[in-house]
């Protein structure tokens, strides 16, 4: 894949692109502490002729990590993506988002639905439904952001890789675990901290009440071992008008990491069926 740096809305944005002349486009958005490298093990399993674009979201990977928290808001990230696609002259695409990237993908889709042919969300949510839940989560996210800046990246990564959400990843080969760890260590403390403060789950708007407005196909994917997000997907499916919900066996939160071949196969079969 070609690695490209471009300037959008005053920020340097990094992305990678494969098969730039292809007619159909797939766009991938990574999760918190991720980057374009998140998808390295997945891309080779796509057999169809797609233009594939992976991006580093604000504060992640090689994209700029500003000191101003306002630049990290969900609304700002959505506009950054919109201007990116406009500048690249990509009018429509399938949008695939994992976890935090899924929240961004959903926010983008609900505002610019004409640009998104299909929405694919991996282990994602529309945010928290009540103000009370958001306030509690916002407090926790800000505390974690302060911790990242105070204790440094190494301390945070050691903590983050051991939270229950990623327990199933400890079954992965050591080489795969080291690749995930290396990707996290390539982040910047200010980028991760401000991402939590600006577009953490407690800070972003709740989109639950807007899901029924989206009429195009949606694919939800969760891991069998990730009961929390399996329930979220179940609740989301009831609200979308045209939605398929797939539970992948024997994996947790990051399906694309734990079983990249199955992840790619499910998406390709979904695209072909639709």
Separation of alpha carbons 203 and 73, rounded Å: 8
Which runs of consecutive H residues, i.e. helices, occur in the chain?
A: 74-88, 100-111, 131-151, 153-160, 174-185, 189-199, 227-237, 255-258, 260-273
Q: 210-243: per-residue pLDDT in tens?
A: 999 999 999 999 999 999 999 999 999 999 999 9
Q: Which two tokens stand for residue 231?
A: 């329930």
Residue 274's pLDDT is 60
Q: 235-263: per-residue pLDDT in tens?
A: 999 999 999 999 999 999 999 999 999 99
Residue 47's pLDDT is 82
Residue 66's pLDDT is 97
Q: Tell me the torsion sign for CA atoms 77, 82, 86, 92.
A: positive
What does pTM read for this prediction?
Answer: 0.97
Percent of the chain with pLDDT over 70: 100
Superfamily of domain 2-273 in CATH is Alpha/Beta hydrolase fold, catalytic domain (3.40.50.1820)
Return the H-helix or E-strand segment holding 173.
Answer: none
Per-position DSSP letters for 177-238, written without gaps between them: HHHHHHHHHTS-HHHHHHHHHHHSTTTSPP-GGGGGG--S-EEEEEETT-HHHHHHHHHHHT
Residue 272's pLDDT is 83
Q: How far apart are the first and last CA of the chain?
A: 27
In terms of residues, how long is the chain? 274
**8 A C-beta contact, residue 19 and residue 61:** no
Separation of alpha carbons 225 and 57, rounded Å: 27
Where the chain has pLDDT below 70, the residues are 274
- For the chain, give every domain's residue range: 2-273
């Amino acid at each position: 894949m070609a690695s490209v740096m471009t300037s959008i809305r005053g920020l340097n944005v990094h992305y990678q692109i494969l098969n730039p002349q292809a007619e159909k486009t797939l766009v991938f958005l990574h999760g918190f502490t991720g980057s374009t490298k998140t998808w390295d093990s997945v891309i080779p399993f796509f057999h169809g002729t797609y233009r594939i674009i992976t991006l580093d979201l604000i504060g992640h990977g090689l994209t700029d990590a500003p000191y101003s928290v306002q630049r990290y808001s969900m609304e700002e990230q959505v506009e950054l993506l919109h201007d990116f696609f406009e500048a690249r002259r990509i009018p429509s695409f399938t949008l695939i988002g994992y976890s935090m990237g899924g929240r961004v993908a959903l926010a983008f889709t609900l505002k610019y639905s004409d640009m998104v042919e299909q929405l694919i969300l991996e282990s994602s949510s529309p945010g928290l439904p009540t103000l009370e839940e958001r306030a509690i989560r916002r407090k926790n996210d800000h505390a974690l952001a302060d911790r990242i800046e105070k204790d440094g990246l190494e301390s945070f990564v050691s903590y983050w890789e051991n939270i229950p959400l990623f327990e199933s990843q400890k079954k992965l080969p050591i080489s795969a675990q080291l690749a995930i760890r290396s990707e996290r260590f390539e982040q910047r403390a200010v980028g991760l901290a401000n991402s939590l403060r600006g577009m953490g789950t407690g800070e972003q708007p709740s989109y639950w009440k807007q899901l029924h407005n989206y009429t195009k196909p949606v694919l939800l994917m969760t891991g069998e071992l990730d009961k929390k997000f399996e329930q979220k997907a179940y609740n989301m499916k009831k609200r979308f008008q045209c939605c398929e919900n797939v539970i992948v066996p024997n994996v947790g939160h990051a399906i694309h990491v734990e079983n990249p071949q199955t992840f790619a196969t499910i998406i390709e079969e979904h695209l072909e069926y639709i």
